[in-house]
Amino acid sequence: TFSRDHVRAARALGAGEARILRRHVLPALLPPVAVATALAVAGAILAESTLSFLGLGISPPAPSWGNMLANAQELVFSAPWAAVWPGLAIMATVAACTLVADGLRRRGS
């Protein structure tokens, strides 16, 4: 049973379980799930790029920001932009996911 006051009030007014779930419980669950999803995407991007950089992720013919950073190690003095752009892409994408999660969290509270 649900212990929130608005759920108890809906139950007292005769609302069924399906209506309570659809109108009261699911809308309360969606914001935390959206925040957790956005943060999980950021974590997955960081994990994949780190593992690929270490040689444990996606195999080298496939494009990956971690593979691009690993391949740019020997070019860091002759072509530093080969390492800067994938690093900036990782940073911008993870920051965007984190900002989306923060915006969803603020909107939900």
Residue 82, in any domain of the structure: yes
Domain that holds residue 71: 30-108
10 part of a folded domain: no
Tokens of 96: 């965007």
Tell me what pLDDT residue 109 has: 58
pLDDT at 64 over 50: yes
- Asked if residue 52 is part of any domain, the answer here is yes
How high is the pLDDT of residue 1?
44
Residues 54-70: what's their mean pLDDT? 84
Query: Are the CB atoms for 52 and 67 separated by under 8 Å?
Result: yes
Q: Work out the angle between the directed axes of helices 81-108 and 26-53 (0-180°, nearest 10).
A: 170
pLDDT, one tens digit per residue, over 17-60 is 777 777 777 777 888 888 888 889 999 999 999 898 888 888 87
CB count within 10 Å of CB 55 equals 11
The two structure tokens encoding residue 22: 């659809």
- Residue 67: what residue type? N
Number of domains in the chain: 1
CA 105/CA 108 separation, integer angstroms: 5
Averaged over 87-109, what is the pLDDT?
A: 87
Whether residue 80 is contained in a domain is answered as: yes
